[in-house]
């Protein structure tokens, strides 16, 4: 599994990356691996306000439909429109072309309330029962 050190992670397996004044959000390599082949991604409209922990969309795989949860509170400033035609990007490049949304956070420091890579890696190992 790949756990990029520069990202922050949630217990629901979303990642967040600081990009200047905004955060880019996606699902982790572990999450996409557990889900299997992603066949559909449902994302919110630009301009929607979300709260930390709130559902902002869903990914559908051949195995299941999984809700997506906001890692921080803020306003959606962009959604990855390419995923409607290419949901497989989430599987092939979860930390790159498979990003989901960009958020303008209400509180830029809120990202520090979610796990760093080391804590997330330990969390995944415990969840997987290793």
68, 80 contact by CB (below 8 A): no
Copy the structure tokens of residue 1. 């599994």
Q: For the chain, give every domain's residue range.
A: 8-127
The Cα–Cα gap between 50 and 75 comes to 6
Q: What is the pLDDT of residues 70-83, one digit of tens each?
A: 999 999 999 999 99
113 φ/ψ angles, rounded to the nearest 5 degrees: -90, -5
pLDDT exceeds 90 at position 95: yes
110, 16 contact by CB (below 8 A): no
pLDDT exceeds 80 at position 130: no
Q: What is the pLDDT of residues 48-76, one digit of tens each?
A: 999 999 999 999 999 899 999 999 999 99
Give pTM, 2 decimals.
Answer: 0.95
15 φ/ψ angles, rounded to the nearest 5 degrees: -115, 155
Per CATH, the number for 8-127 is: 2.40.50.100
Element (H, E) at 105: strand 101-105
């Amino acid at each position: 599994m790949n756990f990029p050190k520069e990202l922050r992670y949630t217990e629901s397996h979303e990642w967040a990356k600081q990009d200047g004044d905004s955060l880019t959000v996606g699902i982790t390599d572990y999450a996409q691996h557990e889900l299997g082949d992603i066949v559909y991604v449902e994302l919110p409209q630009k301009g929607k306000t979300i709260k930390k922990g709130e559902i902002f969309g869903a990914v559908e795989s051949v195995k299941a439909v999984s809700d997506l949860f906001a890692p921080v509170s803020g306003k959606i400033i962009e959604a990855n429109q390419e995923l409607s035609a290419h949901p497989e990007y989430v599987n092939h490049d979860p930390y790159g072309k498979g990003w989901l949304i960009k958020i303008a956070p209400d509180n830029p420091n809120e990202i520090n309330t979610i796990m760093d890579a080391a804590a997330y890696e330990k969390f995944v190992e415990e969840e997987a029962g290793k």
